[in-house]
Amino acid sequence: MHARVRDGDPEAFRELFDAHARLIHGYAARWTGDRALAEDVVSVTFLEAWRLRDRVRDEGVDLRPWLMGIAVNVLRNTTRARRRYESALSRLPTGGSEPDFSDEVVGRMADAERVAAARRALERLRPGDREVFMLCVWSELSHAEAAVALGIREGTVRTRLFRARSRLRRFADEEMDRERAVRPGQLHSDRLQRAVRSSEGTSG
């Protein structure tokens, strides 16, 4: 596969897309909180992969770390992408009847609030710690794969992940407490805290 990608084999890139597009989309959606923007990130990631295909080396058993490294770099530049996206939306015509999604919105509201609290906690981490946490915990890359994706040492990945877990426990508690203060009596999930704790068993 490495040689085929490096040679620009279209079928190899289709296989690469089928194997990893969903992983990249999930990572980008969690990072941005915007599924439409996440789709753009997937597209840009594979365009960049095509452009950088001659840099693929015959190391590792698959190309997931290489692709995720490209996705991380794309996401570091999402501010401009988000502005362009919002500008495009603002130019769309309005008017006409819209279907009533109120029941669906109410059903998803609690989940949306939990995700928002989790994202706020993540945003309080150092960028490098956040990247490592998301790669190793949410995208399930090994320590070695995350090191390749980020271009850092495996020991640095372990250090950042340990620090991220420790801080996320505190930040998640603070964010959930803030939510409870705003909406007294409402129950909130500790999904992020469970993710942090369950990830402690992840092997490198």
- What does 15-79 look like in DSSP terms, one character per residue? HHHHHHHHHHHHHHHHHHS-HHHHHHHHHHHHHHHHHTGGG--S-SSSSHHHHHHHHHHHHHTHH
Secondary structure of residue 117 in the 3-state scheme: helix
Q: 115-133 pLDDT, tens per residue?
A: 666 677 788 889 899 999 9
Residues in Cβ contact with 90 at an 8 Å cutoff, skipping those fewer than 6 apart? none
Q: How far apart are CA 26 and CA 61, in angstroms?
A: 22
Give the closest residue to 28 by CA, choosing from 81, 75, 60, 77.
75
Span 47-61, pLDDT tens digits: 999 988 888 877 666
What is the rounded average pLDDT for all residues in the chain?
A: 76
Among candidates 66, 8, 15, 77, which has minimal Cα distance to 40?
77
Q: Any residues with CB less than 8 A from the CB of 53 and at least 6 apart, and which?
A: 5, 6, 7, 8
Task: Report pTM.
Answer: 0.63
Provide the pLDDT for residue 100.
39
Q: If pLDDT is split at 50, 70 and 90, which confidence band does 12 have? A: confident
User: Which pair of tokens denotes residue 177?
Assistant: 């407490």
- pLDDT band of residue 153 (cuts 50, 70, 90) is very high
